Structure 1
Amino acid sequence: MLLSIVAPCYNEEDVLERFHAEVQKVAEELLPLGHDVEFVYVDDGSRDRTLAVLERLAGQDPRVRYVSFSRNFGKEAALLAGLRHASGDSVVVMDADLQHPPELIKRMVDLRAQGYDQVIARRTRTGDRMTRTLTARLYYRLVNRLVDVELVDGVGDFRLLSRRVVDAVLNLTESNRFSKGLFAWVGFPGTTFEYTNALRAHGRSSWSMRGLLNYGLDGLLSFNNRPLRAALYLGMGLLAIAGLYTAWIMGAALINGVQTPGYVTIITAVTGVAGVQMIMLGVIGEYTGRIYYEVKGRPHFLVKATNTEPAKDLVP
């Protein structure tokens, strides 16, 4: 049985060799159990010497396969490239910054042997700031009321996938990819276990608050059209309110005579409705923009350097 370890990398030159040493130890432990291991690294257009480190690792270890992008295309593109180039019977997806403990791979392999197609590591929020924990919980509670798949708080990309799950994900050719949702959408039997997230071995996370917000919006919009339905319901509600308000004004005029409505009420109504219209226009624009990118059919990434070929060239 061949196990592929897929690790996207972005500016990880300071930790990459240490990470590879750790996963090599895991590979040595799995060898007596009948598992060969290959390492698939994807350099997502790093600005440091990440590619040079990967080339050196490939020269030292023939099991190392790497792909380097022409620029930074984002983690979703890097995950897709890693899955395309992984030829294993099972694939482990993890970060290269050592926040995903490599020693958990053996536990994943043991659970895979029990017949699970997805073995998912769910991190606890031990040590997180209270504000971040509360924000995440509120986000997942909101999203799971709207999207067509279940997204679990603490579940990320760190997981083991069987070959049929990998093939199913690769056959989804959409441009606007949200892997966490795609993994949930394809289904197949899975299990989850918890672990405590480790600190980054070096540097700081490249995720900014704006990036996290955009990622959250991707999750909200990628698997449902309910915001558009909400716009319809909201419009109908505002129309009903306007009708009731008109009836009230007419009734008051018939009973008390014609009076000039309050200036504050009119301004509040106009500005409030205008704000709602702009929000709904933005929602429609988001969906239209996604259609625009899908129709263009551009590749998800461009490769600058590699020492391997795709295991399965299922999509352009």
Structure 2
Amino acid sequence: MLISVVVPCYNEEAVIARFHDHVVKEAALLGHECEFVYVDDGSADRTLFLLKELAATDPRVRYVSFSRNFGKEAAMLAGLRYASGDAVVIMDADLQHPPELIGRMVQLHAQGHDQVIAKRTRDGDRVTRVLTARAYYRLINRLVDVELVDGVGDFRLLSRRAADAVLSLAEYNRFSKGLFAWVGFPSVTFEYENAVREEGRSKWTFGKLLNYGADGLISFNNKPLRAAVYLGLLLLAVASLYAAWIVGSAVVNGVDTPGYVTLIVIITALAGVQMVMVGVIGEYIGRIYYEVKRRPHFLVQSTNAVPADRLEELVR
């Protein structure tokens, strides 16, 4: 069996050589052939140079370099396209995904699981981050059409048929955590303690995490649009009751001039609600806009690999 290890990279020059040493050491214990597919996501440092050096010394190394930074979602998609293994392991290059777990993943895959998912514990995280994550997953699982699990990310093994299923989903706005859950297939999850990042700082700023969370909320349901309809009906009902109360009060007590403050508050509140709803609708329309243009998910600047589908054609 051929195992493909897919590694998205962005400005990882400080750690990429060390990561490769670790993953090669673990691969030697598997008893299977391995290939290593590194995807350089438009790095501004020497990451690509180091990947080319690795490819020159290790024939199992494949590298794919983008023309610019397209994001981790595009990098994972490229890695899956260029991986030709019977099973594909996706992991980060910063050693926060321990290479020592690859062997366990392969063993669980051999038991018939198409997805072997590594779930990191929250041990050591700040209390505020733990509470925020719990609240987010509790909310999102009430809304989205798939189940998302706290602590489960991209670190996983996919069988060939599971990887092909993910590749068949050609949508431009990708939320891989949801796509992995959507394709299904027999899966198993195990926990691990998240390792400390050895070099550099995380690329995930608060703003990026916020946008990523919004992507997850919008990508797998239309409930915000349905909520806009229900909220509109609720406001209409409240306005009708208020109008009936005003008319009734005028009939019983005579005409009274409505309060200026009340009027301003109502107008401001309704304007705010309308802007929020327009923003929600705009998010969906924007996604449709990107989908219909059918632009490629990424552009390859240089590579020493052949996409898996092209490889099958060449063999024939």
TM-score band by shorter chain is over 0.9
SS of match in other structure, 1:312: helix
* Number of the residue aligned with 1:22: 22
Superposed, 1:3-42 pairs within 5 Å as 3-31=3-31, 35-42=32-39
| Cα distance in 2 for residues equivalent to 1:201 and 1:164 | 34
Counterpart for residue 283 of structure 2: 286
1:250 — aligned with what?
247
SS state at 2:308 partner = coil
Secondary structure of 2:201's match? coil
Corresponding residue number in structure 2 for 1:260: 257
In 2, Cα distance between equivalents of 1:164 and 1:267: 59
How far the C-alpha of 1:312 sits from its partner, in A, is: 2.2
Whole-angstrom distance in 1 between the partners of 2:11 and 2:105: 27
Q: Which residue of 2 aligns with 1:129?
A: 126
C-alpha distance in 2, partners of 1:59/1:127? 39
Which residue, out of 204, 208, 215, partners 1:207? 204
Whether 2:68 is the aligned partner of 1:71: answer: yes
Q: What is the match of residue 154 of structure 1? A: 151
1:228 is matched with 225
Structure 2 CA distance, aligned partners of 1:245 and 1:272?
A: 15
- In the alignment, what sits opposite 1:305? 302
Give matches, 1:169-184, under 5 Å.
169-184=166-181
Distance 1:202 1:213 in 2: 24
Give per-residue Cα distances to partners, 1:117-154, cap 9 Å, x unaligned.
Answer: 00000000111111111111111111000000000000
SS at match of 1:39: strand
Structure 1 contact 91–160 (Cα < 8 Å) conserved: yes
SS of structure 2 residue aligned to 1:8:
strand
CA distance in 1: counterparts of 2:101 and 2:245, whole angstroms: 66
User: Structure 2: how far apart are the matches of 1:272 and 1:186?
Assistant: 41
| Long gaps (5+) in structure 2 | 312-316
Structure 1 distance, partners of 2:13, 2:193, is 25
Cα shift readout 1:146-185 (whole Å, capped 9, x = no counterpart): 0000000000000000000000010111000100000000
Give how far 1:264 is off. 1.5
Displacement of 1:266: 1.0
In the alignment, the residues of structure 2 paired with residue 3 and residue 260 of structure 1 have an alpha-carbon distance, to the nearest angstrom, of 77
Q: CA deviation at 1:265?
A: 1.2
Match of residue 269, structure 1, among 266, 271, 277: 266
State the partner residue of 1:113: 110
Q: What secondary structure sits across from 2:158 in the alignment?
A: strand
TM-score, length basis structure 1: 0.97
Partner in structure 1 of residue 314 of structure 2: none
- Cα deviations across residues 6-35 of structure 1 (Å, max 9, x unaligned)? 00000000100000000001111012xxx1
Deviations 1:175-221 (A, max 9, x none): 00100000000000101000010011100001111100000000000
2: CA distance, partners of 1:256 / 1:313: 82
In structure 2, what is the Cα distance between the partners aligned to 1:227 and 1:221? Answer: 8
The CA distance in 2 between the partners of 1:50 and 1:213, in whole Å, is 27
Q: CA RMSD in A?
A: 0.9
Superposed CA deviations along residues 227-255 of structure 1, whole A, max 9, x for unmatched, are: 00000000000000000000000111111
* Deviation per residue, 1:75-134 (Å, 9 max, x gap): 000000000000000000000000000000101011101100000000001111111111
Report what 2:91 is aligned to: 94
Letter in 2 for 1:42: V
Q: Take 1:69 and 1:283, find their aligned partners in 2: how far apart are those partners? A: 32
Query: Moved runs in structure 1, 4+ residues, more than 3 A?
Result: none
Deviation, 1:313, is 5.7
Contact preservation (8 Å) 1:16, 1:96: yes
Is 1:142 the counterpart of 2:139 in the alignment? yes
Counterparts of 2:292 and 2:210, CA distance in 1: 25
Post-superposition offset of 1:57:
0.3
Helix, strand or coil for the counterpart of 1:103?
A: helix
Partner amino acid, structure 2, of 1:19: F
Partner of 1:81: 78
Question: How many residue pairs align between the two structures?
Answer: 311
| Contact 1:84-1:313 at 8 Å conserved across structures | no
- Return the alpha-carbon distance in structure 2 between the equivalents of residues 119 and 75 of structure 1: 20
Q: TM-score, normalised by structure 2?
A: 0.97
Structure 1: 5+ residue runs without aligned partners? none
Q: What residue identity is the alignment partner of 1:28?
A: A
Separation in 2, partners of 1:124, 1:248: 55
CA–CA separation in structure 2 for the residues paired with 1:7 and 1:301: 16
